[in-house]
Amino acid sequence: MRPTYLEVNLAQLKQNVEAIRAHVAPAKVMPMVKANAYGHGIDGVAPFIEPFVDYLGVALVEEGIHLRQLGIKKPILVAGGILIEQLPLFLEHDLTLTASSPELLAAADEMAESTRKQLKVHLKIDTGMERVGVRDYEAESFLLKSFACRHLSLEGIYTHLANSETPDRKYSVMQLERFQEVLRIYEKNSVPVPIRHVCNSGGILNLPEAHFDMVRPGVLFYGVYPGREALRSVNVKPALTWRSRVAYSKVTLPGRPVSYGSLWQAESPARIVTIPCGYADGYFRRMTNQAQVIVKGKKYPQVGRICMDQFMVNLGADHAEVGDEAILLGEGVTVEDLAAWAGTNEYEVMTNISARVPRVFL
């Protein structure tokens, strides 16, 4: 096997789910497993975690189909935008549709009628994200149309929080109030309220009054908090360790620049080791001369331009041989560290770990 691989602690993911469930009880838990389970590897994560969750959430219909092919039986919500021509796939694979417009809702009802099959639907309300969904101030006519859909199973209604990870709750509370105003349309029309869900990871931590009937943990499920300012009101831990090994070890002399662009050179003789991992694996090129790597249990600076398939680490006067272990993430190097070095967020770090990096599931 390739010496660079991602180790995924499935038992830790289970503990994270249990911690989230205890915090939001009696609400159901629907972890988001889109984007290859946030880089953790959907093929290993989904079958393991299925018995411990109520629902699974994805962004693409193809991701939902893949879960069914893995043997997943639990309900699967496709939360991303879809095209009308994709609707038959929802019936074929028993997927739950996000109806984000009156047109999509009508097309879904018409298809369900023509096939004589019921399609499960969650209505999407836009309370301030301005991405997809019917805006809250236009929701009454949308809900009235949904009440008239006789061939759909209108199972849920939800919205998405735009700023839930920040300590300032003002915008999230405003979104919640808009959503609650929409929910009053059910009461006004004497229609039972379906499953209500609002909270992403930040909402789970910061907005307990919005837990409602179900929550949708994303990064929190994977043991990462959604931003440095987010409350730590649920005790979760990361499940990833990104491991590699030294592929080459040499002493570099002053005046001999390291890697493309000659961006770094040693001031005195230094032990430079090469790690067989690069930006094609998701180890961002923009971390050049900023990242740190653990080699033989000690942290050292990455030096020289990060290449497509390799990068170099400066051990100074220390020694390492070919085959010695290197830790790129975990055991003292956090997702937050990589995000800071790359100038991005934790989500992009995890979801950009390439499919060519093998996943090993513990």
Active site residues: 34, 260
* Count of Cβ atoms closer than 10 Å to residue 325 Cβ: 15
What angle is formed at CA 232 by the lines to CA 337 and CA 214, rounded to 5 degrees?
A: 110
Q: How many helices (H) and strands (E) does the chain have?
A: 11, 18
Nearest to 105 by CA among 95, 115, 120, 92: 120
Q: What is the CA radius of gyration of the chain?
A: 24
d(CA 123, CA 259): 52
Type of residue at 248: Y
| CA gap 131, 257 in Å, rounded | 47
- By three-state DSSP, how is residue 283 classified? coil
Sequence-separated contacts (24+) of 257-264 with Cβ below 8 Å: 257/304, 258/303, 258/304, 258/312, 259/303, 259/304, 259/305, 259/306, 259/307, 259/311, 259/312, 260/304, 260/305, 260/307, 261/305, 263/288, 263/289, 263/304, 263/305, 264/289, 264/303, 264/304
Its sign, for the CA torsion 22, 25, 26, 29, is negative
Length of the chain: 362
Q: Quote the Cα angle for 29-80-212, to 5°.
A: 30
Query: In which residue are the tokens 């029309």 written?
Result: 189
CA distances from 129 to 38, 97, 184 (A): 21, 19, 21
What's the rounded Cα separation, in Å, for the pair 169 and 83? 34
